[in-house]
Amino acid sequence: MISCPACGLSLPEFARFCARCGRRLPPLRGGVPPIWVLVLFWLGTVASLAVALAYTLALVIPDLPVEGVDPGQLRRVAGIVAAAAASLFVAQLIASVGLTLGRSWAKGMATLICVAWALTCLGLPLSVLALNAIWRPVRPAHSSVAPPP
| pLDDT of 30 above 70 | no
Q: Which of 78-87, 108-117, 131-140 has the lowest mean pLDDT?
A: 131-140
> Over pLDDT 70: what percentage of the chain?
85
**pTM for this predicted structure:** 0.68
> Over pLDDT 90: what percentage of the chain?
37
pLDDT tens digits, one per residue of 89-115:
999 999 999 999 988 889 899 999 999
Q: Residues 74-90, buried b or exposed e (16+ Cβ, 10 A)?
A: bbeebeebbeebbebbe
Mean pLDDT over all residues of the chain?
Answer: 83
| pLDDT of 17 above 60 | yes
Q: Which of 20-34, 35-49, 131-145 is modeled with the greatest confidence? A: 35-49
Residue 129 and residue 139: Cα distance in Å, rounded? 20
**Residue 3, H or E segment:** strand 2-3
- Segment 7-15 shows an average pLDDT of 85
pLDDT, position 134: 86
At residue 84 the predicted structure's pLDDT band, cuts being 50, 70 and 90, is very high
Do residues 143 and 6 touch, judged by C-beta distance below 8 A?
no
